[in-house]
Amino acid sequence: MRTPRSSIEPALALVDFSSVAVGIEAADAMAKRAEIDILKAGTVQPGRYLVLIGGTVAEVQESLAAGREVGGEAVIDHVFLPHVHPEVVDAIGGGRVPDASDALGVVETSTVAAAIHAADAGIKGADVRLVEVRLADGLGGKGIVLYSGRVADVEAAVEIGAGVLVRPGLLVRKVVIPQLHRDMWENVSDATRFSGRVLERL
């Protein structure tokens, strides 16, 4: 692996493993196969293992292939984005849009990889902002993508994001709320996790 950079560019890949043991083994193979710039790996609920990599398109593609080969049937899902949108990278890292308003779009997915794929497709295809991309923990392994913007743009982003999830079962639900109540915007813009809104703030 090269000297790590602070950001993922231009390519991103993520692999979701059902087995922690296999995930660690596969992550090792991924790091050894290609000169990737970013490697982040660890456990998430419910007992799964995620590996996120970034770097040049060719190296990330080669590293991903190694992970899928070693992972075999333990690979629940994966995503490869050769030119990931910068807002997706920021959102994965915990970035949020604090002053979001207007319409809200939600895409809920059964896997983390599907959420990242939907987020990237939606923001590239419509004039929206990513309020949040939440992955796995506190969601039972699922993912959620929140878009904000004008109603028509949010509707387009949700349709585009959901539309790339072609495998049955990846899309849990999609919702567009044309004018979210201001109290709900306060909740959504700050944190979608209940503990972040209530247990730590009362």
9-34 pLDDT, tens digit each: 799 999 999 999 999 999 999 999 99
What pLDDT sits at residue 134? 86
37-62 pLDDT, tens digit each: 888 999 988 899 999 999 999 999 99
Taking Cα atoms as reference points, which of 92, 115, 105 lies closest to residue 171? 115
199 DSSP 8-state letter: I
User: Looking at the predicted structure, is the pLDDT value of residue 2 above 60?
Assistant: no
Alpha carbons 50 and 199: distance in angstroms, whole number:
27
123-167 pLDDT, tens digit each: 999 999 998 898 877 788 899 999 999 999 999 999 999 999 989
Strand partners, 15: 51, 78
User: Which domains can be identified in the chain, with CATH numbers?
Assistant: 11-81 (3.30.70.1710), 96-191 (3.30.70.1710)
